[in-house]
Structure 1
Amino acid sequence: MLNDVNAIKRDAETRMKKSIEALKSELTRLRTGRASTSLLEHIMVEYYGSPTPLTQVANVAVQDARTLQVTPWERNMLSKIDKAIRESDLGLNPVSTSDSLRVPLPPLSEERRKEMVKLVRQEGEGARVAIRNVRRDANNSLKELQKNKVISEDEERRVQEDIQILTNRYIDEVDAVVEAKESDLMEV
């Protein structure tokens, strides 16, 4: 009985943590005014006939606050990497040097910043929904245990309260992550 209840609580917490990690991962892809290597992590490059993440065919480094430096492991990959960055949805125009690419990040307009804040809020709401779905699944599992007389109604209510406390904690964490990203975006 206790193992079942603890397993449900552990599973709920693990899934809520994954929701937070997924949110953070999504938000790193949104461009702020500063250069960050994570900006290019999701870009795929054609490498010997198969799409490969850019970070596996080149070294990506921050050159200064507004410039990324991309140095391919193989020189012949320079044009393919250039093309992949240009065709991405980031609106970046790399500048080719003899053996690397400089990727200057243009400053964000006020309108673009507001659009990105809306995207951040949407991602945050998606994470909140995911956390609430985890809570619902855990509560359904508890109801099933109670229905099968594995736990008492009082025990079910107590564990549901624990799961609600967990849910509130992770939703507060989502709010903090979203707020931090919003302030980062609105910083000029």
Structure 2
Amino acid sequence: MEDEIDFIIDGAKEAMTDALNHLEKQFANIRAGKASPAMLGSVMVDYYGSQTPLSQVANVSTPDGMTIAIQPWERGMIPEIERGIHLANIGFNPMNNGESVIISVPPLTEERRRDLAKQSKAAAEEAKIGVRNDRKNANNDIKNLDISEDLQKSLEEDVQEMTDAHIKKIDEILAKKEKEIMTV
């Protein structure tokens, strides 16, 4: 019986942590003013007939806060990299100098900053919903166990404390991201 309880609690904790990790990955793709290699995370390049992530065909770096430099491992990949960036539709206009691809990241407008903040709030809300669903699933599993009401109540309180801690962490991550987005 103890193993089943541990399995339910550990499963809920792992699922809630996964929701947090997913949120952080989503936030890495939301641009916050300064250039970052993560901004090109969704770019796929046609590499000898197969779609390959940009990071596997080139070195992506940020020499300064407003520029992304892409140094392909094969010079012949430059047109494919440019095509991949255009197809990803992330709002960047790549330029090449014959040896590398350079992207100038334009500064964000106030309106775009507000849109990104809304997008961040929506992603955080999705993460909270995921955590609450994990709580519901854990509580249902606890109710299906053949245990005393006192133990059941105690376990549900533990799950609620875990849920509250994860939701607080989501709020902290969101506040940090909003501050990053709104800072000019």
Q: TM-score range by the shorter chain?
A: over 0.9
> Which among 148, 164, 168 is matched to residue 160 of structure 2?
164
2:61 maps to: 61
Unaligned runs of at least 5 residues, structure 2? none
Q: Secondary structure at the match of 1:34?
A: coil
Structure-2 separation of matches of 1:48 and 1:108: 36
Deviation at 1:63, TM superposition (A): 1.1
Structure-2 separation of matches of 1:182 and 1:80: 34
Deviation at 1:2, TM superposition (A): 1.1
Structure-2 separation of matches of 1:183 and 1:89: 26
How does 1:143-154 map onto structure 2 within 5 Å?
143-145=143-145, 149=146, 151-154=147-150
- Correspondence 1:182 to 2:178: yes
Q: Secondary structure at the match of 1:32?
A: coil
- Correspondence 1:120 to 2:120: yes
Deviation at 1:16, TM superposition (A): 0.5
Paired amino acid for 1:25: K
- Across the aligned residues of Structure 1 and Structure 2, the Cα RMSD in angstroms comes to 0.8
1:41 maps to: 41
Deviation at 1:19, TM superposition (A): 0.4
- Correspondence 1:155 to 2:131: no
- Correspondence 1:85 to 2:85: yes
Structure-1 separation of matches of 2:43 and 2:159: 38
- How many corresponding residue pairs? 184
Question: Please, which moves more after superposition, 46-55 or 117-126?
Answer: 46-55
How does 1:19-34 map onto structure 2 within 5 Å?
19-34=19-34
Instruction: Spell out structure 1 runs of 4+ moving beyond 4 A.
Output: none
1:71 maps to: 71
Deviation digits for residues 91-115 of structure 1 (CA, Å, limit 9, x no counterpart): 1011101210111100010001101
TM-score, normalised by the number of residues in structure 1: 0.96
1:11 maps to: 11
Q: Secondary structure at the match of 1:124?
A: helix
Structure-2 separation of matches of 1:138 and 1:173: 20
Deviation at 1:85, TM superposition (A): 1.1
TM-score, normalised by the number of residues in structure 2: 0.98
Q: Secondary structure at the match of 1:154?
A: helix
2:42·2:88 contact (CA, 8 Å) conserved in 1? no
Deviation digits for residues 103-139 of structure 1 (CA, Å, limit 9, x no counterpart): 1100010001101110000000000000000000000
Question: Please, which moves more after superposition, 123-132 or 29-38?
Answer: 29-38
